[in-house]
């Protein structure tokens, strides 16, 4: 009888410890990261994360009744953290074929379009396809998918490809005539150019790239549990169905 009581007591204790540990783990906030890109995600004048996609993430967390923290940090740092840390999410990651199996995909947050941008009045630039752009020097940001895309399509550094570390340097290269075109997306383009110190009305789109990935997703690494992913996915679908998602985008003029 004593042995049976002892076994039952140990079983109860183990169950209590397991449930306490599980509860504690569940209470730890999920981490959401994105780069500085107004009006989608940026640090406001009060030092807080703000923006359209930030509010969408907050709405998702509220609907799912899950705790979370949102951090604005450099793209490379956020990308790496999402890859290696459990319960860390990048909330505007471009969904591409080469990333498909490296991440788990919660749901689409936005959609952008890729374009080749140049200065207005360049009568010598006549693009019919991406192949025809090889006669010019195209710039983009090192480490971005656009750099990988251009490499894969036959563009070569020191020939017709220029890679910059920052967007400010990239736009400086274009406006100072050191490159002919920039491969970028349509997200916050005018503001990005203005913040770099240049006139956004001086640029023109020379070619839209329909085969460039355009869907931005909430994504997480392979160690995040499927239960959490499903909770977030269902919450994102719910705020889209309720109209709350579109209300947030409309609030920011998107």
Query: Which pLDDT score, from 0 to 100, does residue 219 have?
Result: 98
Which token pair is 94?
């471009």
**DSSP string for 72-112:** E--HHHHHHHHHHSTTEEEEEEE--GGGTTTSEEEEEEEE-
Residue that the structure tokens 């005018």 belong to: 190
- Does residue 2 lie in a domain region? no
Q: Is the peptide bond before 39 cis (omega within 30 degrees of 0)?
A: yes
Looking at the fold, whether 154 and 43 belong to one and the same domain comes out as: no
Same-domain check for residues 120 and 176: yes
CATH number of the structural domain spanning residue 46: 3.40.190.10
Q: Where are the beta strands (DSSP E) in the chain?
A: 30-34, 42-43, 49-50, 68-72, 88-94, 104-111, 114-119, 138-141, 161-164, 181-185, 203-209, 215-220
Same domain, 221 and 101: yes
Q: State the Cα–Cα distance between residues 215 and 28, nearest whole angstrom.
A: 29
Claim to verify: residue 194 and residue 139 sit in the same structural domain: yes
Q: Is 172 part of a structural domain of the chain?
A: yes
Tell me, what's the pLDDT at 16? 47
**Rg of the Cα atoms in the chain:** 23
Number of domains in the chain: 2
- 138 and 219 assigned to the same domain: no
Give me the domain span that covers residue 122: 114-209
Low-confidence ranges of the chain (pLDDT < 70): 1-27
Q: Residue 195: its pLDDT value, please?
A: 87
- Residues ≥6 apart with Cβ < 8 Å to 195: 168
In this structure, are 70 and 129 located in the same domain? no
pLDDT of residue 22: 42
Answer yes or no: do 52 and 125 share one domain.
no
**Co-location of 103 and 126 in the same domain:** no
- CB of 94 within 8 A of CB of 145? yes
């Amino acid at each position: 009888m004593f042995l049976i009581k002892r076994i039952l007591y140990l079983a109860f204790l183990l169950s209590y410890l397991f449930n306490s540990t599980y509860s504690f783990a569940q209470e730890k906030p999920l981490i959401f990261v994105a780069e500085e890109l107004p009006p989608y995600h940026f640090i406001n004048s009060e030092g807080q994360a703000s923006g359209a996609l930030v509010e969408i993430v907050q709405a998702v967390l509220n609907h799912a009744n899950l705790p979370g923290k949102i951090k604005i940090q450099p793209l490379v740092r956020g990308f790496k953290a999402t890859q290696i840390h459990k319960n860390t999410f990048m909330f505007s990651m471009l969904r591409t074929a080469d990333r498909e199996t490296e991440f788990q995909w919660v749901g689409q947050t936005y959609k952008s379009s890729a374009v080749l941008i140049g200065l207005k009045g360049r009568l010598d630039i006549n693009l019919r396809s991406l192949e025809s752009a090889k006669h010019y020097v195209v710039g983009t940001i090192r480490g971005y998918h656009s750099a990988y895309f251009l490499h894969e399509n036959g563009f070569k550094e020191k020939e017709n490809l220029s890679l910059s570390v920052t967007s400010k340097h990239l736009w400086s290269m274009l406006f100072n005539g050191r490159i002919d075109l920039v491969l970028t997306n349509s997200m916050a383009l005018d503001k990005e150019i203005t913040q770099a110190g240049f006139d956004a009305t001086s640029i023109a789109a020379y070619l839209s790239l329909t085969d460039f990935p355009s869907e931005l997703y909430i994504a997480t690494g392979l160690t995040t549990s499927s239960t959490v992913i499903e909770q977030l996915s269902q919450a994102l679908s719910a705020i889209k169905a309720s109209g709350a998602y579109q209300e947030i985008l409309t609030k920011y003029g998107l």
